[in-house]
């Protein structure tokens, strides 16, 4: 009996401590890679005219919802238990739709600057209001990452189209809010499956409104489904799992890694050259994130 009590106490203590720092780092890294891959897939599909923005958004959400429903069903063994909520589903839809339409008029650098600026502002304000604070080393890492991101995207950035800028800012606010809601989820898979399911009818309604301007090709459909099922659906499950061990400030900071990761991926997928500026800013951004995560581990 005493041995059983000791085991129960140890399990309870481990649960209260939360996920290990190494697990959080690995989950966060996997999620950021998925987000960067998602950006590349979207750019490939939309900027080459393989599919329209509304159809890409709908196929992305439908394919993600189908895969996640299957995975949730296998995990629960009860026919696919799904949780989530309507506010999170609406935020997910707003992010996907606004992101897709914004990239019809914005360059990749301008879009990334607006998107992650809005994400940073949303999560940073929420974290400060909740009483979260960085230590000096964390602030140094955050500033270093911000400076690296601005230096990466600022050269050649022209005044963006007002509608595209507004849509990308809305996408950033929606993603920031979606990430904040995910921090308290006990079952990331069930929550993400439920959120995707709720976002699907909103996306289909958008496609119906845009049916006169719809155009799809087989490559476009493939890219949208890959984006929805893998880099969005599974990527968001991983992100929800990582959020259990991240404060709002740190969750905001690590997402600064997505633009340089996407740019590096573009050298392979889009035959873009690796410039000294890209290498320098990537080191600054990823180094700043490493400082933030190291400060968390020490704390």
Per residue in 80-99, pLDDT (tens digit) is 455 778 999 999 999 999 99
Q: What is the pLDDT of residues 211-232, one digit of tens each?
A: 888 899 999 999 999 999 999 8
Range of the domain at 263: 21-298
State the Cα–Cα distance between residues 111 and 232, nearest whole angstrom.
Answer: 19
Domain membership flag for residue 14:
no
pLDDT at 16: 45
**Crossing angle between the packed helical segments 21-47 and 108-129, to the nearest 10 degrees:** 140
Per-10-residue mean pLDDT of the chain, 299 residues long, equals 47 51 87 86 84 95 93 69 81 95 76 74 77 78 80 61 86 90 78 92 93 90 94 87 79 77 74 69 77 63
Residue linked to tokens 């050298």:
267
Asked if 194 contacts 84 with a C-beta cutoff of 8 angstroms, the reply is: yes
Q: Which residues contact 3 (CB under 8 A, 6 or more apart)?
A: none
Task: Specify the pLDDT at position 220.
Answer: 94
Token digits of residue 83? 């949780």
Q: Does 11 fall in a domain?
A: no
Give domain status of residue 7, yes or no.
no
Domain-located, residue 281: yes
Total tally of structural domains belonging to the chain: 1
Specify the pLDDT at position 8.
Answer: 40
- Answer yes or no: is 2 within a domain: no
In a domain, 13, yes or no: no
Asked if the structure places residue 154 within a domain, the reply is yes
Extract the tokens encoding 68: 């996640």
Please report whether residue 167 resides in a domain.
Answer: yes
**Residues 84, 85, 89, 91, Cα dihedral to 10°:** -110
């Amino acid at each position: 009996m005493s041995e059983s009590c000791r085991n129960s106490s140890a399990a309870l203590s481990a649960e209260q401590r939360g996920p290990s720092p190494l697990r959080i780092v690995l989950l966060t890294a996997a999620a950021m890679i998925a987000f960067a891959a998602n950006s590349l897939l979207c750019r490939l599909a939309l900027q080459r005219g393989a599919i329209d923005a509304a159809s890409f958004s709908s196929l992305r959400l439908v394919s993600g919802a189908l895969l996640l429903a299957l995975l949730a069903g296998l995990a629960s063994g009860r026919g696919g238990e799904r949780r989530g909520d309507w506010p999170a589903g609406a935020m997910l839809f707003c992010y996907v739709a606004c992101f897709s339409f914004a990239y019809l008029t914005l360059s990749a650098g301008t879009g990334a600057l607006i998107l992650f600026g809005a994400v940073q502002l949303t999560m940073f304000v929420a974290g400060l209001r909740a009483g979260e604070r960085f230590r000096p080393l964390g602030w140094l890492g955050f500033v270093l990452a911000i400076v690296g991101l601005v230096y990466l995207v600022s050269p050649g950035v022209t005044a963006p189209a007002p509608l595209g800028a507004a849509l990308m800012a809305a996408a950033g606010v929606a993603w920031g809010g979606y990430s904040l809601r995910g921090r308290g989820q006990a079952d990331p898979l069930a929550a993400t499956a439920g959120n995707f399911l709720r976002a699907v009818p909103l996306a289909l309604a958008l496609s119906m409104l845009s049916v006169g301007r719809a155009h799809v090709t087989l490559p476009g459909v493939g890219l949208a489904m890959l984006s929805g099922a893998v880099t969005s659906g599974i990527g968001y499950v991983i992100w929800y799992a990582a959020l259990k061990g991240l404060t709002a400030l740190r969750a905001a900071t690590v997402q600064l890694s997505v633009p340089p990761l996407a740019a590096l991926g573009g050298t392979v997928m889009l035959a873009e050259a690796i410039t000294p500026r890209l290498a320098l800013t990537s080191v600054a951004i990823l180094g700043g994130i490493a400082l933030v995560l190291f400060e968390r581990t020490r704390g």
